Structure 1
Amino acid sequence: MNTLDPKRYVINNVDALLRILHADPRYALDFRNKAEQHITLKLRKKFFNASPDGVVDAFNNALMKFLQARTFRDEGFLAGQPAEGWSAHELALGKLGGYLYRGSLHELIQAHRRIRQEVQWKQPAQDDLLDDNALDEIETLSDPSPFADPARAYEHLSVIRRMRACLDKLSDTLRATMFLYLDETPMEQIARLQDLHVPTVKSRLHAARKLVADCTRKGMD
């Protein structure tokens, strides 16, 4: 094997990952550094007004909770795993990285809620007023998504929780198809895994989305 090739391990579950991280500190460091770099960059782009230290703290908290709770599903390691196993970078950018990103996002929102302070508007002095062109330039720098501000993103958590509860109410067949779809599994692969035709998969997803949407709306009334 080329000495420049990354080290790889076959990983079937969280316990196997933890054993590898303890036995190979270099692999553990590569995984952590790549995951932190990738996740904090995504968070900084979404929460442009969050402090760098706060974003890193959110990632560290999410990583620590993952190592303690070990709630990541085995399927996340097995799906798409190369025959020779995962490299540290592939692991950090794959489904486990996505799981840690969602955990970091939650931690960042919770931290913001704990320290949020009301900011009162102060009328600027006449000399400090910006002209229209300057305001236009500022608007182009803002993130138009509803999640640009952690405070607004927090308000969406209740909706997300309701959606998860509604997903759990689906039948086993619809829920299995929906979870594969939410894990970004290609439509053709879902069909192969469930021994279905692609149109049947699409039909199930359509039915599942409608049921979840109706259930979520009822919870908001």
Structure 2
Amino acid sequence: MPRLVEAFLSLQGESTHAGRRCIFLRLAGCNLDCNYCDTMYAHSPESGEERSVDELVAAAASFPCRLVEITGGEPLLTPETPELCRRLLALGFEVLIETNGSLPIAPLPAEVRKILDCKLPGSGMSNRNLYDNYALLQPHDEVKFVVSSREDFDFALDVIRRYDLPGKTANLLFSPVWGRVGFADLARWIVDAGAPGRMQLQLHKLIWGDKPGV
């Protein structure tokens, strides 16, 4: 059964949907151990409380919003996540799912907007990327590169070229690791390299800092 760590209504802080009101359903458990993780409170599969799919749908429906993100942890570790997505889509929700890129996205409904991390060397988890997922990307999906160094940025550019990501989606996002890369530095690398996609900042951290559940 899914384990829910938190459910709340806030502003979307990242992705091409940044700034929009969004419901967040954070599920427990993650199979990676990124060294910059800012949601360690959801890392354990035993965190949170058990909730049925019916209860998760009811939790989302209790908020006055129709944009919902399923996140974690790693939500694809929860076997019921595809069914949760289908149920929310049937109710008219616009569904986002944020995934670390190490597990197959094939079970998810096509209508779900996948926000797929590509883990870079600075995360310590770049050997866990499931590159087969890139063949399944649709134009509404997104790939996020969390950059902690120039090495990371160059690695991201190589992945973009090798897998022709601009031919699959225009939503390629470069995000600086909070406190490790200066915003101006990443901006300059993107400009000088003519990198496809866009830079993003973590809007929620700029507004509220590292406080969870906002």
Q: Which has the higher helix share?
A: 1
TM-score (ref. length: structure 1):
0.29
TM-score (ref. length: structure 2):
0.29
